[in-house]
Structure 1
Amino acid sequence: MKVQSSVLVHLGYGKYVRSDRVTAVVPIEEERGPGRRTWVHVEGQTNPLVASRAEDSIVRDLVQEPHEVTQSRQQQEILQDLLIDLANINATVRRINRDEGGLDLDRLERRIRQILEA
């Protein structure tokens, strides 16, 4: 498990904390109830925060990669796969696609390379 750095983790009721500042997540055992599920200890603070979310939910958010990062990685992998497939298309097929179908595979290949290199 790796804590994602500089990601805000929702504690409930409008409370958020940076994931890399959390030092401990402890379930509240006494006086636990709605709005009081978990103690969240944060670096630099003497008293823990009271979270309304359960400790396992908070921990999952601490170590889970944000959806946007996962989606971006998947999109880059798809573009890399497409680039490999485009490299296997011969010049004649490229010309036919460009002239007859309006699909310029050379331009598409250049654009994908630009995106992946950025």
Structure 2
Amino acid sequence: MEVRENIIVPLGYGKYVRSDKIIVLEPIEDDRGPGRRTKVFVEELKDPIIASRTETSIVSNIVEIPREIVEANVALELLKDIMDDINNIGPMLRKSIKKEAGLDLEKIEKQIEEILKHEID
């Protein structure tokens, strides 16, 4: 893959950086959530910029990637984001959601885990 030069890449919440100035993209594992998806290390900046976009979506702006790969990665990132959100739902609300909407969050979690497990293999 080749980095497209002089492309302005949106990082979310009004943050932008030139594509050829990005050095490292590091997904945030701990304290990940809305507004906190990726650390973006940029040339000449001491500290990384915290982006609200995933590393996959940022990379898709930086380089030319075949559409099929981008779509698959976006789908996987969406599943990861859904999993993060579901993990923040407490047991009382889970019971209420299951009772009121018939939505079994435990079952959805297991299905997402199974999909993500196969993607890692």
TM range (shorter): 0.5 to 0.7
Aligned to 1:21: 21
Q: Deviations over 1:83-111 (max 9, x none)?
A: xxxxxxxxxxxxxxxxxxxxxxxxxxxxx
Aligned CA RMSD, in angstroms, stands at 1.2
**Alpha-carbon distance in structure 1 between the residues aligned to 2:5 and 2:34:** 29
- Provide the residue aligned with 2:4 in structure 1: 4
The residue type equivalent to 1:21 in the other structure is K
Give, as a single letter, the amino acid of the residue that structure 2 aligns with 1:51. A
Structure (1 or 2) with the larger CA radius of gyration: 1
Corresponding residue number in structure 2 for 1:78: none
Q: Deviations over 1:21-60 (max 9, x none)?
A: 0000010011000000000000000100000001100011
Task: Specify the SS of the correspondent of 1:9.
Answer: strand
Quote the residue 2:42 is aligned against: 42
Match of residue 87 from structure 1 = none
Q: Scaled by the length of structure 1, what TM-score is found?
A: 0.53
Question: 2:61 and 2:35 mapped to 1: Cα distance?
Answer: 18
1:64 Cα shift? 2.9
List, as ranges, runs of 4+ consecutive aligned residues in structure 1 with deviation greater than 3 Å: none
Amino acid across the alignment from 1:60: S
The equivalent of 2:61 in structure 1 is 61
User: Equivalent residue for 1:71?
Assistant: none
Q: How many residues align?
A: 65
Q: Secondary structure at the match of 2:4?
A: coil
Q: What residue is the counterpart of 1:30 in the other structure?
A: 30
Task: Quote the Cα distance in structure 2 between the aligned partners of 1:8 and 1:64.
Answer: 14
Helix, strand or coil: the match of 2:23?
A: strand
Unaligned runs of 5+ in 1: 66-118
Counterpart CA distance in 2 for 1:35 and 1:59 is 17
Unaligned runs of 5+ in 2: 66-121
